[in-house]
Amino acid sequence: MIKLMLVDDHAIVRDGVRLLLEQNDGLSIIDEANDGEEALEKLKAHQANNTLPDVVLLDISLPGMSGIQAAQQITRLNKNVRVLMLSMHNNEDYILRAVEAGATGYILKDSSSDEMIKAIKTVATGEKYFSSPVATIILNGYMQQMRKDPASTAGGGKARRSKLSKKEKEILSHLIEGLSSRLIAEKLQLSVRTVDNHRANMMRRLQVRNAAELVRMAVEEKLV
């Protein structure tokens, strides 16, 4: 059973999401909050009682403390609580800031019920989930930036390719395809932890901040 907390300042939105999710036997909504401050207070109480939710479904636009600020505080409170952003905003700035704040997923409010449930179940396992429109927005934003300044990576692709091992290139090629760490591990007969470690090492050596930037660099500079 995946335990959830809903955080949205519109009661009608929370009611709709609760009605949707309660129809799934594998999900349990244990608490709700109107804003970031209330969410943090309730999470601290849950932590004291050892009843923390597995996933916080968090609106990005909240009064007072923003959803992005709340995501930062929630992930600092307990790294095992996953934050899934639920937003009407589909621009690159919001998405990247949410990821940098610690969100492990980002879906749009017009997503289907099936996708919302899939996203919740994915982030609950520790993996990341971005709906297709969100992933496309991230990649398109980087592509536009590189078209404006193509010299920024001129000659760098070959040097960066040399930094990657054969196994890392295999993993990177599957990341570009949009596969999760679990699916990559199954394909390459590795553990999920090994795949995650390879990805973290690639991000560190290539000096990128997140998986979206890693995929962007791999596509633009043909690293695989």
**pLDDT per residue as tens digits for the range 11-22:** 999 999 999 998
184-195 residue pLDDT tens: 999 999 998 899
Q: Amino acid letter at 42? A: K
Which residue did the predictor score with more confidence, 155 or 25? Answer: 25
Q: What is the 3-state secondary structure (H, E, C) of the chain?
A: CEEEEEECCCHHHHHHHHHHHCCCCCEEEEEEECCHHHHHHHHHHHHHCCCCCCEEEEECCCCCCCHHHHHHHHHHHCCCCEEEEEECCCCHHHHHHHHHCCCCEEEECCCCHHHHHHHHHHHHCCCCEECHHHHHHHHHHHHHHHHHCHHHHCCHHHHHHCCCCHHHHHHHHHHHCCCCHHHHHHHHCCCHHHHHHHHHHHHHHHCCCCHHHHHHHHHHCCCC
Least confident stretch, 23-32, 139-148, 154-163, 166-175: 154-163
State the Cα–Cα distance between residues 172 and 191, nearest whole angstrom. Answer: 16
Average confidence (pLDDT) over 93-100: 83
What pLDDT score was predicted for residue 50?
94
Domain chopping of the chain, boundaries = 2-132, 146-220
User: What global pTM score does this model have?
Assistant: 0.65
Tell me, yes or no, if the two domains 2-132 and 146-220 fold the same way.
no
Burial class (CB in 10 A: 0-12, 13-18, 19+), 137: buried
CATH architecture of the domain formed by 2-132 = 3-Layer(aba) Sandwich (3.40)
Q: Position of tokens 């009407």?
A: 88
What is the DSSP pairing of strand 55-59 with strand 2-7?
parallel
CATH architecture of the domain formed by 146-220 = Orthogonal Bundle (1.10)
